[in-house]
């Protein structure tokens, strides 16, 4: 199965390299505008370095941004590639659309210049820093514990304060009614008792 898949990929590569071996300014009407393509369904392991090397067979890649998660740094499965010429981008998108790669079909589409967002390549020079997932989860858990403890203490303080007001109102009305209330539920702070032994001199 793997051999057949590799053979199919090699045949497709040869076919595309044969038809689009080199692009010259004399062969194609170069407009001087840069072209952007959208690449979706990107397989695992096909990252910035591999993508730049792969798409360079069509022409000069000026910018490339692979969407990554801010928390983990993992790939989100889509990217934007900018070529030096718009005509090259159109040919690359047409050639690589539905291209089989690692059991996935790439989805490549040409993005018109009027639809390209000004911040589409924001942070494309930024180096990839993967976060430690275990450390991140531990940090979130500890923060939640601190917040929950603070909320609990605040809620207890509010209940005791309201209960104190109720006791005072009953006392002002001349009603003698003793009840444990919330004060009996609140755990008391543990006090450490130390024993000293008197030695006979």
Q: How confident is the model at residue 29 (pLDDT cuts 50, 70, 90)?
A: very low
User: Within 10 A of 81 (CB to CB), how many other CB atoms are there?
Assistant: 27
What pLDDT, in 10s, does the model give residues 155-199?
778 888 888 888 888 888 888 777 777 776 666 665 555 555 555
Cβ proximity of 64 and 48 under 8 Å: yes
Q: How confident is the model at residue 23 (pLDDT cuts 50, 70, 90)?
A: very low
Give me the pLDDT at residue 83, please: 95
For residues 25-42, give the mean pLDDT.
74
Gap between the Cα atoms of 125 and 177, Å rounded:
72
Q: What is the mean pLDDT of the chain?
A: 79
From residue 52, give the alpha-carbon distance in Å to each of 64, 71, 82: 7, 24, 10
Gap between the Cα atoms of 105 and 110, Å rounded:
16
Which residues, at least 6 apart from 47, have a Cβ–Cβ distance to it below 8 Å?
A: 66, 75, 128
Give me the pLDDT at residue 24, please: 44
State the pairing for strand pair 35-40/107-111.
antiparallel
What pLDDT, in 10s, does the model give residues 53-107?
999 999 999 999 999 988 778 889 999 999 999 999 999 999 999 999 988 899 9
Gap between the Cα atoms of 77 and 106, Å rounded:
10
For residues 141-152, give the mean pLDDT.
75
Residue 156: closest CA among 135, 183, 133, 178: 183
Pick the more confident residue, 151 or 109: 109
State the pairing for strand pair 61-68/35-40.
unpaired
Give me the pLDDT at residue 153, please: 78
For residues 130-142, give the mean pLDDT.
75
DSSP 25-53: TTTTT--S--EEEEEESPPTT--HHHHHH
Pick the more confident residue, 1 or 126: 126
* Token pair for 82: 């900018």
pTM of the model: 0.52
* Token pair for 135: 């450390």
């Amino acid at each position: 199965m793997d051999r057949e898949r590799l053979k199919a990929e090699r045949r497709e590569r040869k076919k595309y390299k044969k038809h689009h071996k080199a692009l010259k300014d004399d062969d194609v009407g170069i407009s001087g505008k840069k072209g952007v393509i959208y690449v979706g369904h990107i397989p695992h392991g096909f990252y910035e370095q591999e993508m730049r090397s792969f798409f360079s067979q069509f022409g000069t890649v000026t910018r490339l941004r692979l969407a990554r998660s801010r928390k983990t740094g993992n790939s989100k499965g889509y990217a934007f590639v900018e070529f030096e010429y718009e005509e090259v981008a159109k040919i690359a998108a047409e050639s690589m659309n539905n291209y089989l790669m690692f059991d996935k079909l790439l989805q490549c589409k040409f993005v018109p210049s009027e639809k390209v967002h000004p911040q589409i390549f924001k942070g494309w020079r930024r180096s990839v820093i993967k976060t430690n997932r275990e450390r991140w989860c531990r940090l979130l858990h500890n923060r939640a514990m601190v917040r929950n403890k603070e909320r609990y203490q605040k809620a207890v303080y509010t209940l005791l304060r309201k209960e104190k007001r109720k006791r005072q109102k009953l006392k002002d009305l001349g009603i003698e009614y003793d009840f444990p209330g919330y004060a009996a539920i609140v755990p008391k702070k543990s006090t450490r008792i130390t024993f000293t032994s008197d030695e006979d001199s």
